Chain A
Amino acid sequence: MRIFSLFILTILLNVNFAGAAGSKIDIPKYDWSWKGFFGTYDRSAAQRGLKVYKEVCSGCHSMNLIAYRNLADLGFSEQQIKAIASESLVEDGPNEDGDMFEREAIPSDRFANPYPNDNAARAANNGAYPPDLSLIVKARPKGADYIHSLLLGYKDTPTDFKVPEGMWYNKYMEGHLIAMPAPLMDGAVEYDDGTEPTLEQLSSDVTTFLAWAAEPSLEHRKRLGIKVLLFLIALFILTYISKEKIWRDIKH
């Protein structure tokens, strides 16, 4: 039995080594609202984060897996979603005459792309491609902590560190060089709910929004998970008692 437990423990400890190889940069840990067994996305932070995305990030970064209708998850009403969608133009067509045309986006459309194609995106950004942000929180090790750190990381350039033309120093970027200039600063976005738009606040709000975008099923998943675990634990107690009862008279 000792060997049994030891073996299982080792195998469980070992399985996440796959992600163990990586950088030496220390990413600070933050306390996010969606962490833990009962975690949920902070709706007002995510709504503010959408505003930051729309007014700042969406200039260069697409989010082409997210549809305007998905914003209902964040507590926006149908009217609000229609209004948000109509602020963007999307290409549609061909119409009866065979021409492509532009129209206001509707809730079922995906977020409009800032550039017509990848090459245009590169051309406008010194050859660097601004990645799509739909999955960015899941697509980086350390996820939300990393995104938040990166947005705050434009500081303290070491004096002996050479930053080439068109690049910026970032404390948390791999290799410390990033093609994106600091996107956020104090007051970059004006909030409707009166929240002080400090750099920290803007960054953590947009990170909340992006975390939701990457994993919209998180709340449903955790709620269901609690129920499934409770059910399985109850089932285990029953099987445990049954086993004891059935084996009671067996000498082993």
Chain B
Amino acid sequence: MSAGGQTHRLASGGLIDRGKPLGFSFDGQTMSGYAGDTLASALIANGVKLVGRSFKYHRPRGILTAGSEEPNALVELRSGARREPNTRATTVELYDGLVAASQNRWPSLSFDLLSVNQLAAPIFVAGFYYKTFMWPGALWEKFYEPLIRRAAGLGRAAPESDPDHYEKAWAHCDVLVAGGGPAGLAAALAAGRAGARVILCEEDATLGGRLLSDGGTIDSMPAADWVARAVEELGAMPDVRIMTRTTVTSAFDHGTHAALERVNDHVPVPPEHQPRQRLWRIVAKRTVVAAGALERPVVFGGNDVPGVMLASAVRTYINRYAAAPAKRLALFTNNDDGWKTVDAALASGLTIAGVVDARAEVSAGQRALASKHGFAVLNGVVDHVDGGKAGTGKIAVALAGGATATLEADGLAVSGGWNPSVGLTSQHRGRPKWRDDIAAFVPDGGPVGMVAAGSANGVFSLAGCLKEGHAAGAAAAADLGFGNSAGAAPSSDDDATYALKPVWHVKGKKKAFVDFQNDVTASDVALAALEGFQSVEHLKRYTTLGMATDQGKTSNTQGLAIMAELTGRSIPETGTTIYRPPYVPVAIGALAGHHRDENFHSVRLTPSHHWAAEQGAVFVDTGLWKRAQWYPKKGEKDWLESVTREVKAVRSGVGFCDVSTLGKIDVHGPDAGAFLDRVYINTFSSLAVGKARYGLMLREDGIVYDDGTTSRLAEDHYFLTTTTAKAGPVMQHLEFCRQILFPELDVQLASVSDQWAQFSIAGPKVRDLLKEIVDPSEDLSNEGFPFMAVREVLLRGGVKARLFRISFSGEMAFEISVPARFGDALVRKLMTAGEKFGVTPYGTEALGVMRVEKGHVAGPELNGMTTAADLGLGKMMSTKKDFIGRVMAGREALVAPDRMVVVGIKPVDQSRRLRSGAHIIKKGEVPSPDTDGGYVTSVCFSPTFDQWLGLGLVTHGRERIGEIAVAHDPLRGEDYEVELCNPVFYDPEGGRQRG
């Protein structure tokens, strides 16, 4: 592979591996770079200036920064299902075969038709859309909005499901250090030496931070050697963990952090069994934020032209990547730090076209450098830059005395000073404080246990960063009681003070950008001020300043400064917007981890699941459970045929159904009966041992909460069941009653839902089947085991089971419980033993059919809005005791005569299908809010009655039995007559279940 295209690759230097050339493509054009490059540095090395288009005006944009704060150089990385929009070219580690494309342009990057938006720029000012597009109203959705939407947005989401895996993990430590530059390394060394468990996270693939770009001397050795030694020392500590390619993005309560590890973003495709990214939840007792600082641009005309780049980024590209952003470079600075870029450029043999320094005085050394290399030092500011997609043209300088000058260069490095990274420290809504001496916000407090150190705290010398980082690490460890020596702080002779003269905005005629990506100009800020959007939050929301993918990292301070000047306030008086997590944007896939597709939620399987699957059962999701819905047989044409067969088999023979999903709770203790009396509306203390009773629970507000049967297994032992849906909530509620409301009662609860496999066995031949299962010594006769009796029985083979003579289907029925591990064996035994009786397994559909035929209420009726009386169960409410919900159940609106109550409903035309959700209207009335008289809650096709039947909640329902009303179902275009009837369709006398 040739490096021929790398016109801007420096001949030597850099941390790239020239022995490992890599090929890549940008917008279909193949190029080459080296291992160690980022996509941005490789593009620069190939002489590429134009990388993207801006959001609103589609102006040509280049690379502004060398970090994750990049607002301009966003690309679509990779292709197909792995296409990743808005990826910062500055953070993409180059790999062989990398494919990237520019975005938000049409038809191409260099010829973007949407750049006509620039012609309309006089109209397209901040908030212009609030003032127009109002008439006619319908055109907004049909015309204006689609137009705006198509033009807006940045890259495109992938067209298919993300094929990669994401992981989540927990980590715990004493001290978390965010940032692996000089301050972070010093902090980690100090805390680690003291004995603390340390996690050091670094966003970059390589530790060192600015040392990688700026070098320097630490402890009398080159910075790179010191970093290597520090890494070696840290690596030797057993309780120190270094995580590169990992960004601490968010600080939550009590020391919980989110950090994103880009495990395999630097390779084309993650290796097998490896995630693309990993979301770390790091719990730390102390946190040292050593996230560094970000250089800020200056607002002047044409400051967005490709080729205008932050001075520190220019240095990074030259020193770290041996890529020259320009061959003839100009610098515009207001501080000494910017001059380091001159040093870097000169050391690499580049030409300096001139330095524009806003400060009246520059140092003698700087003057000497200028005269040695023959470039001018102009005291003034850059007024504007000409140029376009090909790069910078003439640079017009406004000199301090009022004269003008011009520089010719193919690149302009800009330094407006540095902003400490206050994003993480301000996430708990703490506002940073302003420091005049560095003209920047610094952290002011922060989340509990978190401190900032180094340039993240406004310390801008290398010596200062090392010292403060070390002190912060040592203090964090000492605070936690680690007594070992933190050792000596690393030292450096670079303790230069940071001399800066604030320059925010150079007023001029050309468009001067504050927020590059969102195309917010200085005049937009002025317009916001004029119209009264002077609060920083109004400024942000009106102009979209700071709402780009960099979250204002490269724009907020300048915007604030301009607003401050316009309104005659200081910058701190103007304030800052709230810093929100995450510090850098995080892939949604990483936050979801494995919880997607079939693994979105866990799956609960019933004890008979595997057997049912063997039978070809169709399963239905019930909460997390998979339940057998019906068991299709060969030749059956649809679900209805299968369900009908199952129901008929139960009604005429015997069938069984897995009901293990019911919540099951053991209640033990001398006060168990008294306890249940307080939580159910009916009485359980009077229940005889060996008997079961249906029970109903209310919420404290008097509305029905749950129902189920409770059995008394011994004087001090009850066993209760809940509905499937409420198994967890009822357990929580009962524990609340026990632990909080009634601690005086001696009672214990144990959830045994998963311990018992439970089957309902129903039908006239149930005893015949059971006799094959239970030990012959057990008396199953109506006298020996009457309706609602319960007792432990011995099964053939010696397993003990609990047998309950209860019925949901209305047939003679038993429920049998065996320890869950025997559930599978039991169901197989039921099948073989029952073969001669035609035993039929039935699913939840048949269960539902029979409960509707029998008029039992279930989930659709227990909807959290109904009272016991609404359900026809008002008589169960004991008047002799207090219970949860008793008092509130008596409120006037809950006992009003016009409440909707449960009735039976059947279509007058017996061939007609009845549908849940149809509303009930009095015959002859026009459907309206005033005539809406209830609705159909549950329906079934009843094989027993050979027609559709249903239950409903109907106003004055019980007084209307026999009335012909209308089922009104406009959603499905149906209106038909129905008869309101007794909800118990099947065997209302109950003779069958009592046997």
To the question of whether A and B form a pair in one complex, the answer is no
